[in-house]
Structure 1
Amino acid sequence: MKTILIVEDDDKIAEIEQDYLQANGFATERSSDGRKGLSMALQGDYALILLDIMLPGLDGFAICQELRRKKETPVLMVTARQEEVDILKGLGAGADDYIMKPFNPNELVARVKSHIRRFESIIASSRPHVHVIRCGDLEIQQDAYRVLLRGKEIPFTRREFEVLSFLAENPDIIFSRETLFEKVWGCEAMGDSATVMVHINRIREKIEDDPAHPKYLETVRGVGYRFRRL
């Protein structure tokens, strides 16, 4: 049985999450304190972590950032904070996705299942030879999960890497935000496609000389995004 760690200081919300997850065949463990939650996340073997942002002891951003130094466990942030800067900060700290309070418990469970399936698929599909995509000064080592720019490795979160890798595998093809969300996150009609925009912007900051005038990740106004073959 897969176990989900719930790090949430609102008991009512934590109980709803726990009840619905257990009803769908998951085991759960809970913490209402940030520092204890981080300790549990680092020591335990969890299929996914549901992580609130506003927590006593240590906030969700710091927890996620510290966790990413040692583990790749999927993290779904559950937050009432809707400012884009907070969303960007959470994704930049390494969260895989976010869901806003109040949420539909069934949607939450569906998102949890989707992220777990995606993570398990990535682990299972590792290949013995490194598949490399080269374009201009950019090198993407798909199996090694490495991105190099002019020979220097650039740190990427797992989800940022998956977005870039998918687009680079399909150069010059335009993908809408909704299609990218479905292809990369593995969710259909349940996610927030604005997540894609945040990831695209963060990727541009890392690989483009001028993010405002990108040469690799191009926006086709009103349609979507494409990776340009240089």
Structure 2
Amino acid sequence: MTYIKERRRILVVEDDIDIADLVTIYLHNQNYITHVAYNLEEATKLLEQRRPDLILCDIMLPDGTGTDWIRALRKSADLPVIFLSSRQETEDIVQGLELGDDYITKPFDPDIMVARVKKRLRPAPSTSENMVATGENVWRDGWLDLHFDRFEVRVNGKEISLPAKELQLLFLMASRPGHVFSTDYLFERIWGLDNWSDVRTVMVHLHHLRRKIENTSSTHRYIITVRGIGYKFQAR
């Protein structure tokens, strides 16, 4: 059995959904957990809740600038920060490098972005509490096992077969634990341009998914409804 370090958490602060999704996909492929905030208010809440190991931050955001937010953050926390910005003026880059640890201009090569993230992340403590007994890209808590590389799901030690849409929903949500997905977003991402269904099919599929992976007689509940907003995967 091979031991690997616990998956590192990265907070992505980016208001462009397409860029945020691109960053998330590439970081996920490298076994990172990502939490996405589309404005500074969301970023502040996620920072308090998730304790990331690194921040990828845009500069121009709907409710302020990433540079001002990081400047304030530096007074109470010391985290690696990489700015992502379309601003390419020398003054902006110099300011970003003074406040953060790196500066990437848009458009950027996702592979280079990942390489810079790897370089800036400090080594994780190598205590047994920060280790997972697996040689694969796996999330587990004793009841539910998710094998991201093979799209394999085990419940209470037994592999289960899920329909394609339920499987896609589960792995999309589990790739960003705690992130609240709107029903419209889930429908667009999973069903795309299919015109034979509507957003209600998301609720139906999640209902069936819950029955298959959750143990309602214990604390193993994963698909959480956020009233009036959508759903999230609650990692325990």
Question: When the two structures are superposed, what TM-score results if normalisation uses the length of structure 1?
Answer: 0.49
Higher relative contact order (CA 8 A, sep 6+): 2
Higher strand share: 2
Structure number with bigger Rg = 2
Question: When the two structures are superposed, what TM-score results if normalisation uses the length of structure 2?
Answer: 0.48
